A and B are shown apart, each in its own frame.
Chain A
Amino acid sequence: EPEVTQTPSHQVTQMGQEVILRCVPISNHLYFYWYRQILGQKVEFLVSFYNNEISEKSEIFDDQFSVERPDGSNFTLKIRSTKLEDSAMYFCASSEASGKTIGSYEQYFGPGTRLTVT
């Protein structure tokens, strides 16, 4: 069964460093998403991406964040200058289509990358 994969599973970085979290969505999916979950808190939407551009982004997704689909398979989240409060689990997801199309589509989640900023 196709699945979303994420690398690395755990990333430790120092405050101020740049990190890139990588995701390989399911191959025929068109929409890609990043979410984060700070330890003990609810999952929060960061950004959705379609047709090589951002569809939606939350207030959390400020200028330190960026997303890219550098090739036909990878989808990356870059955090430019990490802060302590960026420590969280980051989940990538993909779906065949977005919630706004007729009949919403399920999102399939990767296993997550645990980011620890020290």
Chain B
Amino acid sequence: KNEVEQSPQNLTAQEGEFITINCSYSVGISALHWLQQHPGGGIVSLFMLSSGKKKHGRLIATINIQEKHSSLHITASHPRDSAVYICAVMGDSNYQLIWGAGTKLIIKP
């Protein structure tokens, strides 16, 4: 059983569309991370949150602790947003980041 589930696995959209990627988890957490992995493999941390909502530019991340669910939204999507977006949770009983399988996003011009 996967402790972190993401949906969808793949998402293709047109430039300008509003994008939503979902993450559900089954363990107690101290924080949830959203990360971006570029085609070359590099990983960049986008957000780390333990409650509520955070916004950076066109990216918005929300988390509902009671429902064990988080969403990552991208407004006015652009081809440069094309990447794999990964949800990972830090358990509340250890130091280990548990990773989701990622959502591969392709934004077409």
Point out residues on A near B: beta carbons under 8 Å: 31, 33, 35, 37, 41-45, 48, 55-56, 58, 89, 91, 98-100, 103-109, 111-112, 114
Q: Is the interface of B mostly helix, strand, loop or mixed?
A: strand
Q: Which residues of A contact B107 (CB under 8 A)?
A: none
Point out residues on B near A: beta carbons under 8 Å: 30-31, 33, 35, 41-45, 48, 50, 86, 88, 90-92, 94-102
Q: Tell me whether A107 and B33 are in contact in the complex, defined as CB-CB below 8 angstroms, given that A48-B95, A56-B94 are known contacts.
A: yes
Q: Which residues of B contact A43 (CB under 8 A)?
A: 43, 86, 88, 99
Contact of B90 among A55, A104, A108, A112 (CB under 8 A): A104
Judge whether A99 and B90 touch: CB under 8 Å. yes
Which among B30, B96, B99, B100 has the greatest number of chain A C-beta atoms within 10 A? B96
Question: In the assembled complex, how far is the CB of residue A109 from the closest CB belonging to chain B, in whole angstroms?
Answer: 4
Question: In the assembled complex, how far is the CB of residue B46 from the closest CB belonging to chain A, in whole angstroms?
Answer: 9
Q: Which residues of A contact B101 (CB under 8 A)?
A: 41-42
Judge whether B44 and A106 touch: CB under 8 Å. no
Judge whether A56 and B43 touch: CB under 8 Å. no
Complex CA–CA separation, A48 to B91 (angstroms): 13
Q: Which residues of A contact B86 (CB under 8 A)?
A: 42-43
Complex CA–CA separation, A89 to B99 (angstroms): 15
Q: Which residues of A contact B31 (CB under 8 A)?
A: 99, 104
Complex CA–CA separation, A53 to B101 (angstroms): 29
Complex CA–CA separation, A76 to B48 (angstroms): 26
Q: Which residues of B contact A33 (CB under 8 A)?
A: 97
Question: In the assembled complex, how far is the CB of residue A9 from the closest CB belonging to chain B, in whole angstroms?
Answer: 10
Given contacts A31-B95, A44-B99, 14 further A-B contacts (CB under 8 A): A42-B99, A43-B86, A56-B94, A56-B95, A56-B96, A58-B96, A103-B50, A105-B48, A107-B33, A109-B35, A109-B43, A109-B44, A112-B43, A114-B41
Q: Which residues of A contact B43 (CB under 8 A)?
A: 43, 91, 109, 112
Question: In the assembled complex, how far is the CB of residue A11 from the closest CB belonging to chain B, in whole angstroms?
Answer: 14
Complex CA–CA separation, A82 to B13 (angstroms): 41
Complex CA–CA separation, A86 to B50 (angstroms): 33
Q: Which residues of B contact A106 (CB under 8 A)?
A: 33, 45, 48
